[in-house]
Amino acid sequence: MKATLVNQPLGQATTITCVPSRTAFPRRAIATIKLYAERWSRRYQLRNSLYEVDTRLIEKDIGLPYGSLAEEAHKPFWRE
């Protein structure tokens, strides 16, 4: 990608070539991996805690249909 500076005196325009940083992709990739790892960790902890409590009482208390929390507990951590 090339850009031309326009605030130069007439006839002295300078062309600049923009080169993307070689470290931009690895940084974005690492940030994305961290984001997914945090999401998956939270889901794993939540779904494991659903095994330990009486889901029927919670469903009745907050008005969820019967079995919905059990379905959530049996989902793999990578699924929403």
Q: Give the global pTM.
A: 0.58
Which residues fall within 8 angstroms of residue 13, CB to CB, at 6 or more apart?
4, 5, 6
Residue 80 inside a domain? The answer is yes
Q: Categorize the per-residue pLDDT at 38 as very low, low, confident or very high, splitting at 50, 70 and 90.
A: very high
5 in a structural domain:
no
Number of domains forming the structure of the chain? 1
Q: Is residue 72 part of a domain?
A: yes
In residues, how long is the chain?
80
Residue 8 lies in a domain: no
Q: Which domain holds residue 56?
A: 26-80
User: Containing H/E element for 57?
Assistant: helix 55-62
The pLDDT-based confidence of 69 (bands split at 50, 70, 90) is confident
User: Is position 36 within any domain?
Assistant: yes
Residue 24: pLDDT band with limits 50, 70, 90: confident
Q: Is the per-residue pLDDT at 5 higher than 90?
A: no
